[in-house]
Amino acid sequence: MKRIVAHNKKVEIIEDEMPSIEGKPSYILVKTLYSVISPGTELSMLAISENKQLHLGYSAMGEVVECGSNITDVKKGDLVACYGAPYVHHDEYLCVPKTLYAKVPDTVDPKEAALGGLGAIAIHALRIANLQFGETIVIVGLGVLGQLIAKIANAAAFNVIAYDLHESRVEMLEKEKIKSFSSVEAMEKAINIETNSQGADAVLLCAGGKRSPLTHECLKWIRKKGKAVIVGDIEPDFPRDLMFGKEAQLLISRAGGPGRYDSVYEREAIDYPYEYVRWTEGRNLEEYVRLIKEKRIDVQPFISEIVELTDAPHEFEKLLNKESTTLTKLIHFT
C-alpha cells in the first residue's frame, strides 16, 4: 500500500506492507477515502525529519473492509471516522482499535467526517476550559483548530470572541456572526463591552510560535480567577505577577481527550468506564460526528480543496513555503 511520510524535510510517497487485524479481535481494517492535512503538526514533523522517516497524518475516514471478532458496532461496508497516530496516518489502509473510530451516518458528507480528529481535539480543548453556559471565551489563533473551537463554542451558546492577525480568517467567522477581530485593540474593546470590564472567563491560545507574547497579553484579557488554556504549540511562559494578581489558572489541552497516549486504551482497545470517564478521545470523536450530522456546525469551508494522493507531496511543499493560504486540505485516496 502507499503511505505518505516525511523524510529529510521532504514529503514522500512510499510503498509499505498493508496492515492486518490478524490476532487483533478489537480492531477494524479501513480502506481510507479521505485524510486531512494538519498544517501546524505536520509541518513541525517535516522540520525534524532529517535522516529519519516519520509517518504523517492523524485524522481520516474510510470504509470498513474487515472486522475483528470483538467488533459489534460496525460491519464491512460501513463508513467510519478515525483519529490518532500511530493507527491513523495518510495511508491507503488503516488498522484501527475500536476506541479510536466512530461510525459515520449515511447523511454525513464523508469529507466532513474526515475532520473528526481535529474535531475531537477542538472539543477536548473546550472541555479543559470547563466553562458554564453563557460564559465568555476568547479564542486566539484562527487556523483550522481555532476555527473549529470557535464554531463549537458558538453552537454551545458560549459568548465567543475570536482574534487572528489574518483578516481572511477573521472574515470566515464573521460570516457566521461570531465576534471576530484582526486588531488587538478592537478585540480588547469587545471583551470590555461584553463582560462589563470584568474580563473573559477563559482565553484559548490556539496560535503557534513557542515564545509568544500572547502568553503575557492574554492574562490581561481574563477576569480574576480566569483561565488561560494552551492549545497550540506555545511555551507556557507566563509572568508571575499577572498570574498571582488574578489568581489565574493555567491549563494545557493535550490532543483529543482521555485515552490519548495510553497503550491500554489505544493499543489494547480497552475503553474507560463510561460512568467514570465520560468524555474519552473516542467519545469526543463521536460527538464531532453528531455535531455535523445535526448541522450544529458548518465545516464546509475547510473541505474546499481536495488533492489526489499522488499530488500530496507538492501540496505539502506549498504549505511549507507559505504559497497556500488554505487552512487545511483533504487527501483523496482512490
Q: Residue 46 has what pLDDT?
A: 86
What's CA 271's distance to the chain center, in Å? 21
Q: Along the chain (334 residues), what's the average pLDDT of each consecutive run of 10 residues?
A: 93 94 97 92 87 94 98 97 96 98 97 98 97 96 94 97 94 93 96 97 86 81 95 82 89 95 96 97 98 96 92 84 74 93
Write the CA distances from 288 to 8, 254, 291, integer angstroms: 35, 17, 5
Q: Residue 212 has what pLDDT?
A: 67
Instruction: Taking each helix axis as running N to C, give the angle between helix 116-129 and helix 281-293, from 0 to 180 degrees, rounded to the nearest 10.
Output: 110
Write the CA distances from 293 to 68, 123, 290, 322, integer angstroms: 27, 16, 5, 33
User: Domains of the chain (ranges plus CATH)?
Assistant: 2-115+258-332 (3.90.180.10), 119-252 (3.40.50.720)
What's CA 157's distance to the chain center, in Å? 20
Q: Three cell numbers at 68?
A: 475483528
Distance CA 139, CA 180 (A): 9
Q: Residue 324 has what pLDDT?
A: 58
Q: Residue 96 has what pLDDT?
A: 98
Q: What angle do CA 299, 303, 304 make, to 5 degrees?
A: 120
Q: Three cell numbers at 83?
A: 483519529
Q: How many helices (H) and strands (E) does the chain have?
A: 10, 16
What's CA 191's distance to the chain center, in Å? 26
Q: Residue 234 has what pLDDT?
A: 80
Q: Residue 210 has what pLDDT?
A: 63
pTM above threshold 0.85? yes
